[in-house]
Amino acid sequence: MIGQLRSGCVLRGLPLFVAFLLGAAVAASTAQSSARPSPVEVLTPKPPMLVMIERKRVLVYELHITNFGPSSLTLTGIQVFASGAESSSTKETSAGKLADYSGSSLGELLHPVDESSQMAMSDSSQMASPRESGKLDIGHRVIAFMYITVPPDLRISALRHRFSFDVADPSRSQGTPNDETALDGIVVPILQESPLVLSPPFKDGVWLAGNGPSNTSAHRRSVVAIDGRAYISQRFAIDWVMVGKNGNTFHDSRDRNENFWAFGQPVLAVADGEVTEVIDDIPDNIPGKLPTVTVQNITGNHVIVRIAPDTYVAFAHLKQGSIHVRLHQKIKRGIQIAAVGNSGNTTGAHLHLQVTDRNSALAAEGIPYVLDKFRFLGLGKDFEEDHHPDLPQSRTLPMDDSVVTFP
Ligand SMILES: [Zn+2]
């Protein structure tokens, strides 16, 4: 699986977007340096693009915040503003505030790095609960997981961030680069592209979008460092689990793969493309029993397909021996490529589907996509087989825990 992860290759990936601008825009207009002390460095590994999730326009990205100063800090607030904003209805620019986080709303965004290096490629993975504190010891980093909803008529090219801090020991900070209690002007560009439109990975049936798009799912929070760089390849991943006529994901006992409705279901190509990776010889697990998970077997049997420049779809946990396509084969949207299985880091049959910017299941950044069409049948937590909504959806992603069917 990690044949692509040559160390020289990893460095050719997208560089971190450095949002630590030292007020560059202001400096240009005043013709003198506006450099000022800053308590932290802020980096965004992958700038966001607008994506529809359950009919809302959202921007999903992270802020990696590192304390470079001589005093401990506590991050107490993050405000997010539309930058370069224009309302399509009024054509007036706006400096509107899009979000304002403090207290528990800030705590829900934060994820200290020491709790985040887990590999969540399974529907059984549990994320560490985010701590409700922005404490940043000297040299430490926290990641703010951002999930910003943008009003329908607002056109923006970037986001501006303002951070507030408590400095634990101001006397130690005198005249040093972290004696400020606020940092403004951290700009994250918005990629002016549209997510690719994928066709469904299944022909029919009722499917649950497990660990689906949200700001707290195990996929969303799965930061994995590979060859010296941290990635979130699963930023928009979904664990598709089939729901059967009994309203559950299996029938009879859970100890046989064949009792899971998903097991053996055909998996379809979601776009035209070229097969760039195939693994097909990993035994399926006994349900509920994980193998020793390594970076080599975490995705189990899988297929990766290049569907556009710098755009790859990975289908993971496939059934052993079920893969119909071969390496470098050009395939068409809608053909069967494999069957759903239970191989790799999984405790029950499901399809893990993700889209990334590189030909790797882990050493890549997850990028957004939308599904062409599906029907929303409710949420899994209170789904009733014989009594549910049936809402057509188009060119959107289902939110986490959605139960859907494909027309
Ligand atoms: Zn998964």
Candidate from 232-236, 292-296, 302-306, 341-345 with smallest mean pLDDT: 292-296
Where is pLDDT greater, at 89 or 103?
A: 103
Residue 221 has pLDDT above 50, yes or no: yes
- Residue 40, pLDDT > 70, answer yes
Q: For residue 60, what are the β-bridge partners? A: 147
Count the helices and strands in the chain (H runs, E runs): 3, 29
Query: Cα(1) to centroid of ligand 1, in Å?
Result: 16
Q: What is the pLDDT of residues 341-392, one digit of tens each?
A: 999 999 999 999 999 999 999 999 999 999 999 999 999 998 888 888 999 9
| CATH number for the domain that contains residue 204 | 2.70.70.10
Q: What b-and-e string marks burial along 49-84, b requiring 16 or more CB atoms within 10 Å of the CB?
A: bbbbbbeebbbbbbbbbbbbbebbbebbbbbbbbbb
Please give the distance, rounded to the nearest whole angstrom, from the Cα atom of residue 121 to the centre of ligand 1. Answer: 4
If you measure from the C-alpha of residue 78 to the centroid of ligand 1, how many angstroms do you get, rounded to a whole number? 30
User: 345: CA distance to ligand 1 center in Å?
Assistant: 9
> Quick one: 53 and 124 in the same domain?
yes
Instruction: Please identify which residue in the block is written with the tokens 């329908």.
Output: 152
Whole-number Å distance, alpha carbon 346 to ligand 1 midpoint, is 8
Distance from C-alpha of 96 to C-alpha of 7, rounded to nearest angstrom:
43
* Strand 196-198 with 369-379, pairing: parallel
Does the residue 1 lie in any domain?
A: no
pLDDT confidence band for 275 (50 / 70 / 90): very high
Domain boundary at 158, 173, 189, which? 189
Q: How close is the Cα of 293 to the center of ligand 1, in Å?
A: 14
Measure 18 CA to ligand 1 centroid, in angstroms: 29
Q: How far is the CA of 68 from the centre of ligand 1 (A)?
A: 35
- For residues 107 and 219, membership in a common domain is answered with no
The predicted pLDDT at position 172 comes to: 67
In this structure, are residues 371 and 198 in contact, taking their beta carbons and an 8 Å threshold?
yes
How many CB atoms neighbour CB 112 within 10 A? 18
34, 250 in Cβ contact below 8 A?
no
Q: How far is the CA of 224 from the centre of ligand 1 (A)?
A: 14
Residue 45 counted as domain residue: yes
Position 58, amino acid: V
Both 254 and 204 in a single domain? Answer: yes
What distance in angstroms lies between residue 219's CA and the mean position of ligand 1's atoms?
A: 6
Token pair, residue 312, equals 């790859």
What single-letter DSSP state applies at residue 397?
B
130 or 218, which is more confident? 218
For ligand 1, the distance from its centroid to the CA atom of residue 183, given in whole angstroms, is 36
Residue 204 within a domain: yes
Could you tell me the distance, in angstroms and rounded to a whole number, from the CA of residue 289 to the centre of ligand 1?
A: 16
38 is a domain residue: yes
Instruction: Give the integer Cα–Cα distance in Å for 349 and 257.
Output: 7
Query: Same domain for 208 and 180?
Result: no
CATH number at residue 26: 2.60.40.10
In a domain, 230, yes or no: yes
What separation in Å is there between the alpha carbon of 204 and the centre of ligand 1? 21
Is the same domain home to 170 and 78? yes
Phi-psi region of 91 (alpha: psi -120 to 50; beta: other; left: phi over 0): left
Evaluate whether 313 touches 333 at the Cβ level (below 8 Å).
no
What ranges make up the beta strands (E) of 72-140? 73-83, 85-87, 93-94, 97-102, 110-112, 135-136
What does the chain come to in residues? 407
Boundary (domain end) residue, out of 189, 208, 243: 189
In a domain, 83, yes or no: yes
Q: Which residue has the higher pLDDT, 129 or 292?
A: 292
- How far does residue 234's CA lie from ligand 1's centre (Å)? 7
CA of 237 relative to ligand 1 center, distance in Å:
6
Quick check: 190 and 48 in contact, CB under 8 A?
A: yes
Q: How many domains are there within the chain?
A: 2
Do residues 171 and 227 both lie within one domain? no
Contacts of 340 (CB under 8 A, 6+ apart): 240, 242, 262, 263, 264, 265, 267, 317, 318, 319, 349, 350, 351
Is residue 109 located within the same domain as residue 144? yes
Q: Which of 65-69, 124-128, 288-292, 323-327 has the highest mean pLDDT?
A: 323-327
The rounded Å distance from CA 140 to ligand 1 centre is 29
> Using CA atoms, how far apart are residues 62 and 148, in angstroms rounded to an integer?
11
Q: What is the distance in A from the centroid of ligand 1 to the CA of 273? A: 22
Instruction: Return the number of other C-beta atoms located less than 10 Å from residue 310's C-beta.
Output: 14
Structure tokens at 296: 């080599």
* pLDDT > 90 in the chain, percent: 70
- Same domain, yes or no, for 182 and 97? yes
Q: Are residues 209 and 141 in the same domain?
A: no
Distance separating alpha carbons of residues 76 and 23, to the nearest angstrom: 21
CA distance 52 to 57: 5
Position 2 in a domain:
no
Q: What is the CA(147)–ligand 1 centre distance, in A?
A: 20
Ranges 89-93, 164-168, 309-313, 377-381: which has the least confidence: 89-93
Point out the domain boundary residue: 157, 189, 221. Answer: 189
Q: What is the whole-number distance in angstroms between the Cα of residue 98 and the centre of ligand 1?
A: 30
Same domain, 172 and 211: no
Separation of CA 111 and ligand 1 centre (Å): 20
Instruction: Decide if 235 is inside a domain.
Output: yes
Instruction: Report CA(8)–ligand 1 centroid distance (Å).
Output: 28
Instruction: Give the distance (Å) from ligand 1 centre to CA of residue 4.
Output: 21
Non-local (6+) Cβ contacts of 158 within 8 A are 83, 84, 187, 188, 189, 190
Same domain, yes or no: 176 and 283:
no
**Ligand 1 centroid, distance to 17 Cα (angstroms):** 27
Rounded mean pLDDT of 143-149? 97
Cα 30 to ligand 1 centroid, rounded to whole Å: 50
Q: How are the residues of the chain apportioned to helix, strand and coil, as percentages rounded to the nearest 5?
A: 5, 40, 55
How close is the Cα of 351 to the center of ligand 1, in Å?
A: 7
At 8 the pLDDT is: 26
Task: Give the domain range for residue 49.
Answer: 7-189
Locus of tokens 């009594």: 387
- C-alpha 405 – ligand 1 centre gap (Å): 19
The label of the residue with tokens 């950044």 reads 365
The CA 352 to ligand 1 mean position distance, Å, reads 4
Q: Do residues 249 and 333 both lie within one domain?
A: yes
How much distance in Å is there from the Cα of 139 to the middle of ligand 1? 32
C-alpha 398 – ligand 1 centre gap (Å)? 15
